[in-house]
Amino acid sequence: MDYLEIARARQSCRAYDATRPVEEEKLLTCLEAARLAPSACNAQPYHITVARGATAKAVGAATRSMGMNGFTREAPVFLVISEAAYNQTAAVGSKVKGQDYRSVDIGIAAAYLTAEAQSQGLSSCILGWFDGKRLRQLLDLKGPVRLVIALGYAKASDSLRPKKRKAMDQLVTWR
């Protein structure tokens, strides 16, 4: 499967098969993709906490409030991405440029991870709606939580939906 095939096939899963556990080998491959993702000054200013079993149930509960993310009840794995310190070069660059690159780097790592998950036959959903304070306490995290990724196998009923994207000319300008 080439990259564009992966990009076309990957979608945010809203229906996980709770009876199918994620194989550790596949999970490690996804984590390796995130580890290899580029980051500003190679700082990798994030930490990924893998939640399975009872911990996954608690993480899922921390993503559900105000009627949001009900589908997370069935996700067997959650990857909680929290901020970590920059290396010295990235810290200086961030200060000089007035730009915090951690969110960008975390987004890149999440994209690599979820693309690899798709290539492994896994489904994912990147969540920005969660109780960060609750997650930090539950997982004993030092840095703020920036993303939570639900991971697992999609139910057969969660078929590929048509992609609704802006036209290329709305996204790209040639000069």
Sign of CA dihedral 97, 34, 48, 44: negative
* Range 139-154 average pLDDT: 98
Strand residues in the chain grouped as ranges (E): 46-52, 77-83, 123-127, 145-152
Neighbours of 44 (CB within 10 A): 21
Provide the phi-psi class of 70: left if phi over 0, else alpha when psi is between -120 and 50, else beta: alpha
Share of the chain above pLDDT 90, in %: 86
Q: Which of the two residues, 120 and 100, has the higher pLDDT score?
A: 120
- Report all structural domains of the chain as residue ranges with CATH numbers, in order of start: 3-171 (3.40.109.10)
| pLDDT at residue 94, as a whole number | 86
pLDDT tens, position by position, 70-96:
999 999 999 999 999 888 888 888 889
pLDDT tens, position by position, 107-146:
999 999 999 999 999 999 999 999 999 999 999 999 999 9
Q: Which of the two residues, 41 and 148, has the higher pLDDT score?
A: 148
